């Protein structure tokens, strides 16, 4: 009998890659997702697979005893609000989904007596971190998204402590890849740039483009999560990146095209850089997809972003006005 995996947020960007890997590795996959942002296309290729099932739900509506969790062996918890900038405008919703929604998932997993729950945490909990960043780095969230993801992680480990729910957590640095979001709020650089490339518009570079991010391709992220679900280790936190930060300017080199600079946002680091020593050692994991290959895969699938919003400097200024209002006066946050 095939083991059962529940993937919350499984119609999303990373979640859909997780589904692919789990099915490939012999799991039956049950996906729970609210389909915000038209993400149903990410799971269409699995709809006819007898090892795949889907339920459209807000995780906050889940209750212990849900059929989707029955006999599940593992739960991979990706569901949540992932856009960073809008968290300044709507902190209540972020705390509701990313913290209270997580608690609902934890309770379902506890009732189902799963053998492992892996929580998708965020490296944003470290704030303006020393690099390369280890798991024992001080926690300094700079904005509500970061706080909500960290408190969701704290809830998961509290359930581990009190209820003995077997939990591991992975703090993702900068995931990228095919199927990333094509609608909604201003966000991740690749979604913005790919739509601008389609429209033959200049890339909107925040600052001078020398800022670096520890980009890791989505299939490598999925491999790490499966390893965290199958390891005998429990109660662990791992940082997850490629351990090889790339600059925004390097992205433009690979994509090709003109650029325009827009103001740098306070509270955002000049560099994110995961120290991946622990995850490599504990889980025998290593990234497989080079940055150049990963960007090539995005360009090969660029039509996916045709319907994405086209962000201009003026639209970005409007979308980030509240961010600058609340974080712009903090000299420490501004670096």
Point out the residues that are catalytic: 145
Cα 190 → chain centroid: 14
Q: Residue 324's Cα: distance from chain center in Å?
A: 24
Give the dihedral of Cα atoms 274, 241, 166, 152; nearest 10 deg. Answer: 80
Contacts of 33 (CB under 8 A, 6+ apart): 8, 9, 10, 11, 12, 15, 39, 43, 54, 56, 57, 79
CB-based contacts of 328: which residues, under 8 Å, 6+ apart? 266, 334
Among residues 123, 108, 112, the alpha carbon closest in space to that of 169 is found at: 123
Report the DSSP beta bridge partners of residue 108.
none
> Which residues are paired to 246 by β-bridges?
213
């Amino acid at each position: 009998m095939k083991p059962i995996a529940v993937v919350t947020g499984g119609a999303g960007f990373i979640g859909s890659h997780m589904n692919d890997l789990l099915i490939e590795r012999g799991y039956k996959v049950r996906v729970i997702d609210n389909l915000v942002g038209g993400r149903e296309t990410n799971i269409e290729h699995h709809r006819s697979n007898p090892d795949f099932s889907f339920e459209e739900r807000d995780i906050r509506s889940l209750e212990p005893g849900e059929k989707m969790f029955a006999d599940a062996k593992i739960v991979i918890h990706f569901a949540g609000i992932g856009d960073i900038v809008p968290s300044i405008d709507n902190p209540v919703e972020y705390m509701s989904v990313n913290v209270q929604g997580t608690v609902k998932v934890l309770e379902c997993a506890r009732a189902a007596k799963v053998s492992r729950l892996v929580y998708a945490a965020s490296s944003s909990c470290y704030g303006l971190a020393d690099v390369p960043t280890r798991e024992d780095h001080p926690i300094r969230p700079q904005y509500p998204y970061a706080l909500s993801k960290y408190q969701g992680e704290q809830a998961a480990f509290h359930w581990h402590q009190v209820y003995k729910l077997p939990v591991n957590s992975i703090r993702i640095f900068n995931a990228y890849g095919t199927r990333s979001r094509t609608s909604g709020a201003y966000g991740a650089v690749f979604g913005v740039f790919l739509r601008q490339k389609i429209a033959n518009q200049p890339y909107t570079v925040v600052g001078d483009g020398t800022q670096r991010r520890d980009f890791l391709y989505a299939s490598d992220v999925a491999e790490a999560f499966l390893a965290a679900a199958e390891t005998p280790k429990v109660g662990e936190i791992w940082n997850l990146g490629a351990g090889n930060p790339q600059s925004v300017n390097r992205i433009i080199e690979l994509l090709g095209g003109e650029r325009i600079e827009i103001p740098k946002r306070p509270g955002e680091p000049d560099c994110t850089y995961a120290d991946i020593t622990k995850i490599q050692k504990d889980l025998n994991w290593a990234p497989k997809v080079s940055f150049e290959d990963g960007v090539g895969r995005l360009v090969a699938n660029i039509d996916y972003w045709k319907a994405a919003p086209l962000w201009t400097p003026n639209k970005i200024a409007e979308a980030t006005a509240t961010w600058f209002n609340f974080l712009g006066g903090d000299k420490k946050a501004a670096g």
